[in-house]
Amino acid sequence: MTIQWYPGHMEKAKRQVAEQLKRVDAAVELVDARIPFSSRNPMLDQILQDKPRVVVLTKSDMADPDVSAQWLRFYEAQGAEAVTLNALQSKGAKPVIDKAEKVTAPIFDKMKQKGIRPRAIRAMILGIPNVGKSTVINRLVGRKTAKTGDKPGITKAQQWLKVGNKMELLDTPGILWPKFEDQMVGYRLAATGAIKDERLDLEDIALYLTRLLKERYPQALKERYRIEELPADDHDLFTQIGSKRGCLQPGGYVDEEQCAALILREFRDGKLGRLSLETPSDHEEKKDTHASSNAEKSSDIMSRDKDADV
């Protein structure tokens, strides 16, 4: 299955972000702590260019804390300012403001040198659909100002919001990108709910998710679905889960559509525990694979050119 979702309003939102960029001091980029690489929109690097940026790993209460710590070290090694955020805890707002003050310090130092009166930081908040942006905004602002929901596409337009007297936030709609070069990125986005379920083969996505969890968190599957030994065959595991949870049709056959919906819902609700679907090493391995592949292609071309010269 090829996964893609880029409705027309996202192209419009991308243009609006670029137009508003000159009005802000920094960007607050939200990524899903369970999939920090897959949930980073690669177009933002081109749009934001050298604009100071804070990366916020949302939904950290649902991600593996050890893996989240690896991601923070990964960003630190790249020279990026990153912080995890549990949007359900009131103490979560201060680290974001602190990081924003740090990345914009050079801007405000120049303003002071020119005798310009200090003002609040103006930041644009960005992220893919269903990354938890509205929940984060409500936590930062301290009251319910943005709609929240466990479906992508809640925010439809830009709006300015005040975070005390220290920051002003420009909210923007969630934006994906036109094409997923790596389809595993699409599968991870689909599993976490960043793509509308109506556009997906949920059985395919749920089968992918159970396969991945069997590799990385087998104990979580055993405990949640009371399975003593996970079968080697991924589809057998899928049907065992359906049978255990009563997803049955007349005659005792597993209702695979119902089973898929249940697995995805329980993963997204955190019922299987704190789980992460990718690590920094996955990202590095992918880069190494691409580099090796490109080197082989280059070697083949050089070899062919040499043979042609002979």
Q: What is the CATH number of the domain that holds 238?
A: 1.10.1580.10
| 35 and 166 fall within a common domain | yes
| 105 and 31 fall within a common domain | yes
7 vs 134: CA distance, rounded Å: 20
The CB density around residue 87, as the number of other CB atoms within 10 Å, is 23
Element (H, E) at 56: strand 53-58
pLDDT band at 46; cut points 50, 70, 90: confident
Per-residue pLDDT for 156 more than 70? no
| 74 and 167 fall within a common domain | yes
| 92 and 158 fall within a common domain | yes
Highest mean pLDDT of the ranges 14-18, 107-111, 147-151, 295-299: 107-111
| 238 and 135 fall within a common domain | no
Number of domains in the chain: 2
Q: What angle do CA 44, 126, 106 make, to 5 degrees?
A: 80
DSSP states along 142-189: TS--S---SSS----S-EEEEETTTEEEEE------S--SSHHHHHHH
130 is in an annotated binding site: yes
Per-residue pLDDT for 22 more than 50? yes
Asked whether residue 278 is domain-assigned, the answer is no
133 is in an annotated binding site: yes
Per-residue pLDDT for 306 more than 60? no
114 vs 27: CA distance, rounded Å: 24
Retrieve residue 1's tokens: 């299955």
Contact 214, 237 (CB under 8 A): yes
Q: What angle do CA 121, 96, 148 make, to 5 degrees?
A: 100
| 167 and 206 fall within a common domain | no
Q: What is the mean pLDDT of residues 275-290?
A: 79
Asked whether residue 205 is domain-assigned, the answer is yes
What is the per-residue pLDDT across 79-128, written as a single tens digit (0 to 9) for each?
Answer: 999 999 886 665 557 888 999 999 999 999 999 999 999 899 999 999 98
Q: What is the mean pLDDT of residues 151-166?
A: 67
| 160 and 218 fall within a common domain | no
| 62 and 211 fall within a common domain | no
pLDDT band at 303; cut points 50, 70, 90: very low
The CATH number given to whatever domain includes residue 141 is: 3.40.50.300
pTM: 0.83
2 is in an annotated binding site: no
293 is in an annotated binding site: no
| 131 and 258 fall within a common domain | no
- Residue 36 is part of which domain span? 9-171
131 is in an annotated binding site: yes
- List residues bridging with 82 in a β-sheet: 55
16 vs 124: CA distance, rounded Å: 11
| 62 and 105 fall within a common domain | yes
200 vs 257: CA distance, rounded Å: 12
| 160 and 15 fall within a common domain | yes
| 156 and 234 fall within a common domain | no
141 vs 169: CA distance, rounded Å: 9
